[in-house]
Amino acid sequence: MHQTIDAKNVTKKWTTGFQLGPITFHASPGETVAVFGRNGAGKSTLFQLLSGSLDRSEGDLKLFGAKMSPDAVDVRRRIGYLPQESLLPNWTTPSEILYYSARLLNLKSPDTKVEEQLRQWDAVEWRHRPLCKASHGMQRRIGLAVSMIHDPDLLILDEPFNALDIINARHLELAIKSRSERGKTTLVSIHSPLIAAALCPRAVILEAGKLEELTAWTDQNLTDRVKLLDERFFGVR
């Protein structure tokens, strides 16, 4: 079985002088990995490279054993991506954007898939209202629905808990745990140490474009995982 993610010396260079990498990183089917880092550390750039929204400058990147690039259509169909900021057109309705996504992904039984996501994210009553009239939390839930409608083999979530209420935050936690049990890989950026500690058996840190595995994380309990982050980011021992 191929690794879900196989990145070797992947680098992205910007004309501003910022450089992500070189990064070597692997993720296996069923893993849920927390990605920590300050603003500007390179998390969004990493996620865009993995989702095919950006192309690397150097290095080798394979997903599911196939080379990844913006034109790798078949590979990208197996990925779901929720960016930190909503990119959905605000004049569309939840039903319209979900049906469009289902058709774009050539999903069988698109009506069923759309209804499942609307119910999952408590958006049935908002199905025909434009997103510009919806709360930030509702827009976030529709973004989650779009990213998960095809039950992707790799799900990349950039701050997905932002603006979610307690009910939908719990739904998201259960959905991520279910994915792991079914052999699906999830990468998630989370600002809350407690949520990350409870949800993610593995963690990495991005600092100034460099990726580091938190090797001590895996064998520690929830409390010690939080302490590990406090020590790393705040110098608290």
- Alpha carbons 96 and 109: distance in angstroms, whole number: 16
- Alpha carbons 147 and 81: distance in angstroms, whole number: 5
How wide is the angle at C-alpha 185 spanned by C-alphas 206 and 23, nearest 5°? 30
Question: How high is the pLDDT of residue 40?
Answer: 86
Model confidence, pTM? 0.95
* Amino acid at site 70: P
Query: Helices 94-104 and 110-120 meet at what angle, rounded to 10?
Result: 130
Q: Closest by alpha carbon to 39, among 226, 191, 221, 232? A: 191
pLDDT one-digit tens code per residue, 32-75 = 999 999 888 899 999 999 999 999 999 999 999 999 999 999 99
pLDDT one-digit tens code per residue, 205-230 = 999 899 999 999 999 999 999 999 98
- Alpha carbons 201 and 60: distance in angstroms, whole number: 26
Per-residue DSSP letter, 131: G
Q: Which domains are assigned to the chain?
A: 29-56+66-78+154-237 (3.40.50.300)
